[in-house]
Amino acid sequence: MHEAGLVEREFRAACRRHRYRAGEVIFHEGDPAGSLHLIERGHVAVRLTTERGEEAIIDVLRPGESFGEQALIDTSGVRTASVSAIDRAETLALDAITFVRLGEENPQIVRFVMMVLAERLRSTNRELLDALCVVPERRLARRLVRLADQFGDGEGPVTVPVIQADIAAMIGVTRPTANRLLQRAQADGLVDLGRGRVVVVDRDGLRRRSGRD
């Protein structure tokens, strides 16, 4: 087996597998930092508390992505967001003590984890760049394409289980602005809006609107 495959296998063997029901909270914002989680199955929602004391989804993650990275860096820290399972989910969790032990036994494990963290950081930086430099209409299109890719196979219509308030938080606009943009997208035949959901109807059209076609 290739060395990279052996390293990943050793890493996975050291993790603890967790299973979550749809809607189950994995951890709350403000909880003590515990473990890094790699998503093996399902989708999770990352939530932050707004100034009004409400929780809004700021990101949705799928298999192959990670969350809770701070736990390996600052063991005395706290969770900066809440995370919950959107559907049935499984994660591989690695705590800081195990991470240190693995690194002492095999430095390649540290390299592997750093690659995972680097990819998460790149994703965060892309989202920040969009928030600073991209107009809201394009940000909405990019977010909807990403959600459709996460929840659907192929190019057919995809039901995205998020509400308009969550989409507003994800793209950094007010609820009225998000509603106006979504209504425009619906009028253009790109999406279909319902209670507690958005159906992406024309993913190619959204890609063109996003500027990434």
> Which segments within 62-184 are labelled E, that is strand?
66-67, 82-85, 89-95, 158-160
Q: 135-210: which CATH number, 3.60.15.10, 3.30.930.10, 3.40.50.300, 1.10.10.10? A: 1.10.10.10
In this structure, the number of other CB atoms found within 10 A of the CB of residue 133 comes to 9
The pLDDT tens digits for 14-69 are: 899 999 999 999 999 999 888 999 999 999 999 988 777 777 888 999 998 889 88
Confidence of residue 2 (pLDDT cuts 50, 70, 90): low
What are the backbone dihedrals phi and psi of residue 159, each rounded to the nearest 5 degrees, phi first? Answer: -85, 120
- pLDDT of residue 3 exceeding 60, the answer is no
The domain defined by 3-131 folds into Jelly Rolls (2.60.120)
Confidence of residue 118 (pLDDT cuts 50, 70, 90): confident
Q: Report how far residue 67's alpha carbon sits from residue 161's, in angstroms, rounded to the nearest whole number.
A: 20
The pLDDT tens digits for 61-110 are: 999 888 988 888 777 788 989 999 999 999 999 998 898 888 888 888 88
What is the chain's mean pLDDT, rounded? Answer: 87
In this structure, the number of other CB atoms found within 10 A of the CB of residue 47 comes to 21
Q: What is the pTM of this model?
A: 0.81
Amino acid 140: pLDDT = 95
Domain ranges of the chain: 3-131, 135-210
Q: In this structure, which amino acid lies at residue 88?
A: R
